[in-house]
Amino acid sequence: MPRIHTDGCRSKIKERTVLDAHVPNRHNSCAEVKVFMLAYLFVALGILVHVVGSGHTFGFTPLGASLLFFGANRSRKEFLLLLPALIGADVYLNYKYGHAMQPDQWFVFAWYVGACFLGSLLKGRVRPLYVGGAALASSVSFFLVSNFAVWAVWTMYPKTFAGLMASYVAAIPFFQKGIASDLLFAAVFFSVPVLVAHFSRAGEQRRTAI
């Protein structure tokens, strides 16, 4: 009876097994690169809308949601990397409208970093309820911080509790748009990686089945 040579088959099977063992790592690396790109892309979109839509969006902007997504997906060391672009956008808007830099804007700059830290609380806990809660917290915190700064720095409101409340009441229409935009864009931004991963797995399964 002739002898069947199986060494070559065993070698090929072993090689295929080794290659397959590294496939998840390649998929994970690709997923990390995509999320990395999305984090910066969403912030760039937020800054673009902030600059181009200034005076037209009335608080309806993806900037807050983009900072939440960035904080949830990037390291805290990278938060400060965003500040030059964020501050530069506001400096440009001041120049465009002929305004000098005012102390109340430093409160907003600090809030930019704070929004990233708020987003970092979502790491490993991206669930609809948590994302919605973070979006609401982002809207409320910006409303409180920015309007407190306006009251504290400018003279349009008396430096009393009633004056502070008046500044908050005057900003309610912007606050409503801020809540709507943060909830909407947070839902969209945090859904994109999930959808990308889903379609990537589906495509891989189809290629494997062929």
**Which pLDDT tens digits describe the chain residue by residue (210 residues)?**
444 444 544 444 344 443 344 444 555 556 666 777 899 999 999 999 999 887 677 778 999 999 999 999 999 899 999 999 999 999 999 998 888 888 999 999 999 999 999 999 999 899 999 999 999 999 999 999 999 999 999 999 999 999 999 999 999 999 999 999 999 999 999 999 888 877 766 666 667 766
By the 8 A CB rule, do 38 and 193 touch?
yes
Please report the domains of the chain, with CATH numbers, ordered by start residue: 7-209 (1.10.1760)
Q: What would you report as the CA-atom Rg of the chain, rounded to the nearest whole angstrom?
A: 24
Residues 6+ apart with CB under 8 A from 112: 67, 82, 83, 86
DSSP-derived 3-state class of residue 51: helix
Instruction: Tell me phi and psi for residue 194, to 5 degrees.
Output: -65, -45
Q: How far is CA 107 from CA 17, 66, 72, 102, in A?
A: 56, 19, 22, 10
Neighbours of 189 (CB within 10 A): 25
Nearest to 41 by CA among 210, 205, 185, 156: 185
Q: How remote is the C-alpha of 198 from its chain's centroid? A: 20
